[in-house]
Amino acid sequence: MKPIKSAILYKDAKAHTLDVLLHGSSGGMDYSLIKKVFDECVKKGHSVVNFNFPFFERGEEQSSGVELKEEIETLQLILDQSKFDEYKHIRLIGKSLGAIIASFYLKSLSKEAQSKYSVVVFGYVTGSIDLKSFEGKIKIIQGEKDKFGNIKVVKNDLKDAVSKNINYFEIKNADHSYRNELKEPIFEDEAIEIFSKIK
């Protein structure tokens, strides 16, 4: 597989946690929300990796296909390059499509391998994210007016999940990208404020 063109690894020598940022379909690693998440992770004293998936690098709007094979391979490559085995805990932090990719990746791992992971979802895509068999921590930050459903709909989507550690956060009047009715991302900072308190 070709090396990733666009990737940033911030390494804190004292960090026990590696945060892996997975962007959505409409914005890459420089998307404003992702950049704010990156800064927050650094503040926490974590190591952080941020990168673009190949489809975004190619200027395409769609992922590689329903199985997300290229994206999963890319995520594994990024983890390897970040020396993920050196960390006690890995947080996969996904925006929309990024969270779908995270869920598919976790499904490909053994239960033992999954045990060092947790997931943070910015904008849950009902019917596409598959975390039902994941036993680790799941945190979901959802806009009340998200096109994929509010927090009640998300909870219903996860009603059969095996994890006993799921936290749901809803942002009033926000859409899937934490925007208002005028498509202004005015709720991004509220999403980041919630994220900053997540352990």
More confident position, 61 or 110: 110
Task: Read off the DSSP letter of residue 2.
Answer: P
Q: pLDDT-derived band of residue 2, with 50, 70 and 90 as boundaries?
A: low
* Single-letter code of the amino acid located at 189: D
Longest dimension (CA), the chain: 45
pLDDT in tens, 170-198: 999 999 999 999 999 999 999 999 999 99
The whole-angstrom separation of Cα 113 and Cα 98 is 20
State the Cα angle at 85 between 80 and 90, rounded to 5°: 90
For 108, list phi and psi in degrees, rounded to 5.
-80, -10
Q: Which fold has domain 7-196?
A: Rossmann fold (3.40.50)
Residue 142's identity, in one-letter code, is Q
**Edge to edge, what strands does the sheet with 117-122 contain?**
7-10, 47-51, 17-22, 89-95, 117-122, 138-143, 166-171
For the record, the structure tokens of 20 come out as: 């892996």
Cα–Cα distance, 107 to 181 (Å, whole number): 36
Does residue 134 have a pLDDT over 70? yes
Identify which of 110, 174, 102 has the alpha carbon closest to the alpha carbon of residue 138: 102
Residue ranges per structural domain of the chain: 7-196
CB of 158 closer than 8 Å to CB of 126: no
pLDDT 10s digits, 106-133:
999 999 999 999 999 999 999 999 999 9
